[in-house]
Amino acid sequence: MNIWIFNHYADTPDRQSTRSYDLARQLVERGYQVTIFAAGFSHYKFTEERVPPGKQWKEEDWNGVRFMWLKTFPYRGNDWRRVLNMLSYGWRAFLLGRQLSAKPDVIIGTHVHPVAAVAGYLLSKVKKSRFIFEVTDLWPETLIDIGALTPHHPLVFLLRIWEKFLYQRAEKTIMLWPQAHRYTTKLGIAEDKIVWIPHGVDLSRLHAMKPYDGGLLPTFTVMFLGGQSKYHGIDTILEAAGILLNPDNGRVRFVIVGGGAEGGRLHSQAAKMRLSNVEFRSMVPKSEIGKVMGEADAFIFHIRKLIVLQKYGISANKLYDYLSSGRPVIFAVDSSNNPVEEAQAGISVPAENPRALAEAVMCLSRLPPEERLRMGQNGIAFVEQNHDIRVLANRLEGILSDSGSSRLGRPTRVKRVLDLLVSTAGLVILAPFLIFAAALVKWDSTGPVFYRGLRVGRFERPFRIFKFRTMVQNADRIGASSTPEDDARVTWAGRFLRKHKLDELPQLLNVIKGEMSLVGPRPQIPWAVELYTADEKAVLSVRPGITDPASLRFRNEGEILRGSANPDQEYLEKIHPEKMRLSLEYIRKQSFWLDCQILVNTLAVVLFRPPQNRSGVERDGAKARETISQ
């Protein structure tokens, strides 16, 4: 398959913005042909670095990925020259693409600004190719948030028309933010056209990084890497450094690595403030980033207060680089998601709060080395599970292969209305049982009332599930993911709640939030989803559910796993294949009336039928198949 990617700011490993290259490299290794159309002009150094004088474009090969470097209009600030830079990229990308004789199967237009994506769309019409829209920045929302444009500016009106046009024309839209579908649904775009592929990390680049010892040196180094722009609000970091500029805090130093339009002003500000504890360094190639990051004891990830982040969440290359470093991270962003907190890999503080940031730095510097090491290791595990570039390339390949899974199980408004009505009524009616269960959990063992495990939802969006905690605290760190009936981690209260299925009731909250449905395939943990085949990933085209035919058949799967030395392996061998078959069959045949029948059957099983044993599995399997076939 031949793929063209139009990304104005795409970089190779000797620069910074390598998302397009990293994904393309993975595809090339799987037999795809990939060409990236990018500008040769450096947006950090503000110089032409790729295209020779007198030429309009240059072709290069980087590890099998073909780059077409385009000469664009130069600029040094955010003025009319930068607008010409964008327009010149779009025009020359379209002309060069039209001139090439090759016909791409798929064209991906990347929206850092809309001109690149429009060029890709127009070429998809000329070449009769499939068009996929990738959004890496929400224009005009971000421009409004940072004050570059007012909400009623004529350009905002034009940009809104532009983006909606691209959303409507694209076969699929790739977005970075976990809640971005909330934005597109307001524009009338069907949720099943949106695919979440966040930023990721090529972990091989970090092999050169010095292993972390927990911060044993006399100096504690806090580092920021990235563009020196208004977006990142580096002024807050400088103010925090100023707060710590006294003999008592002489152990702490700040290292700021990168370049950008704000670089000169920030250097002058630091000099004016006489920040002897701050060191500026120029941008380093992505291929050498591991060596530089190895000097740090902790990292700062700061972004100004932006409404767009509070609504739709954050996904940033640099953040996942930090988390994969094995060092703790200070997360200073006001967003609807918090990967650092989720990974338990650092400290979180409000954005644009120098005092809180300074206190977080001092808190980290005073922690025992073992605690900082623990945070760092948590970050590595989180990235490997959720943001390894190989995992994200699997998602992209699923879109390119066009397996048709997205056309299965399209959600209906009737189903969503049923979910909201039943879940809301259920929470009200079952409130006494919920209060009883919560009190029982709290009385029986130490720990929180709810278990908030990570699960993979529709379109591979992760979410935290609500369940009453039925195991000892941190049980997921001391044993298998699957739970046999005789698992020693289950508490006394947990066995009672599991027996009567009361532990699942809090998932009505997930249904109300739109993360789950009443009926649908049960949500799985990330490592299990990574093992899905291309066909099995069809279950990710619908919202996961509290119950489904597979749940009815294997309602007491713990009994099947009783006595197992390796419950996870036995689950994959004995339970997963049939569960998946039933789930896929449900997706193919789902309807409003089938959902109602499954809900009635579930209620009957919970209220009137005895616990299932091994001999009852086949009988309930036949019943499950009968329910679907009707």
Q: How far apart are CA 215 and CA 181, in angstroms?
A: 41
The pLDDT of 292-301, averaged and rounded, is: 93
> Measured on CA atoms in the order 603, 609, 613, 616, is the torsion positive or negative?
negative
Q: How far apart are CA 64 and CA 624, in angstroms?
A: 49
Instruction: Give CA separation, 388 vs 222, 381, 382, 392, 478, in Å.
Output: 24, 10, 9, 7, 24
- R_g over Cα of the chain: 26
Do 2-196 and 203-386 agree at the fold level? Answer: yes
Percent of the chain with pLDDT over 90: 49
Confidence of residue 561 (pLDDT cuts 50, 70, 90): confident
The pLDDT of 323-332, averaged and rounded, is: 94
Q: Where are the domains of the chain?
A: 2-196, 203-386, 403-629
- With 0-12 CB in 10 A as exposed, 13-18 as middle and 19+ as buried, what is 445? middle
Rank 28-32, 615-619, 624-628 by mean pLDDT and report only the highest: 28-32
The pLDDT of 84-89, averaged and rounded, is: 94
Confidence of residue 8 (pLDDT cuts 50, 70, 90): very high
Confidence of residue 537 (pLDDT cuts 50, 70, 90): confident
Number of helices (H), then strands (E), belonging to the chain: the values are 26, 20
The pLDDT of 323-343, averaged and rounded, is: 93
Name the least confident of 366-380, 403-417, 555-569, 574-588: 403-417
At 610 the pLDDT is 54
Q: Which residues pair with 3 in a beta bridge?
A: 34, 106
Give the CA dihedral 105, 110, 113, 117, nearest 10 degrees. Answer: 10
534 pLDDT higher than 70: no
Please tell me the CATH superfamily of domain 2-196, with its number: Glycogen Phosphorylase B; (3.40.50.2000)
Map residue 249 onto helix, strand or coil: helix
Distance of CA 496 to the CA centre of its chain: 36
345 pLDDT higher than 50: yes
The pLDDT of 396-418, averaged and rounded, is: 65
- Taking domain 203-386, whether its CATH number is 3.40.220.10 is answered by no
592 pLDDT higher than 50: yes
At 440 the pLDDT is 94
For 180-233, write each residue's pLDDT tens digit.
878 888 888 877 788 889 888 888 776 667 888 888 888 899 999 988 888 899
For 432-489, write each residue's pLDDT tens digit.
999 999 999 999 999 999 999 999 988 788 889 999 999 998 887 788 788 888 888 9
For 414-434, write each residue's pLDDT tens digit.
888 889 999 999 999 999 999
The pLDDT of 27-38, averaged and rounded, is: 94
Residue 451 phi, psi (nearest 5): -95, 125
Confidence of residue 555 (pLDDT cuts 50, 70, 90): confident
81 pLDDT higher than 50: yes
Name the least confident of 321-335, 400-414, 494-508, 596-610: 400-414
In the 8-state DSSP scheme, what is residue 484?
-
Q: How far apart are CA 574 and CA 592, in angstroms?
A: 30
Name the least confident of 171-175, 227-231, 434-438, 542-546: 227-231
Helix (H) or strand (E) holding 65: strand 65-70
Q: How far apart are CA 553 and CA 612, in angstroms?
A: 9
CB burial string 501-535: b at 16+ within 10 A, e below: bbbbbbbbebbeebbbbbbbbbbbbbebbeebeee
Name the least confident of 169-183, 231-245, 260-274, 404-418: 404-418
Neighbours of 323 (CB within 10 A): 31
* Mean confidence (pLDDT) of the chain: 87
> In sequence order, what are the residues at sequence separation of 6 or more whose Cβ sits closer than 8 angstroms to the Cβ of residue 101?
none
The pLDDT of 63-74, averaged and rounded, is: 95
Give the start-end residues of each E strand in 396-514: 450-451, 454-456, 462-464, 467-468
pTM: 0.65
625 pLDDT higher than 80: no
Q: How far apart are CA 215 and CA 370, in angstroms?
A: 9
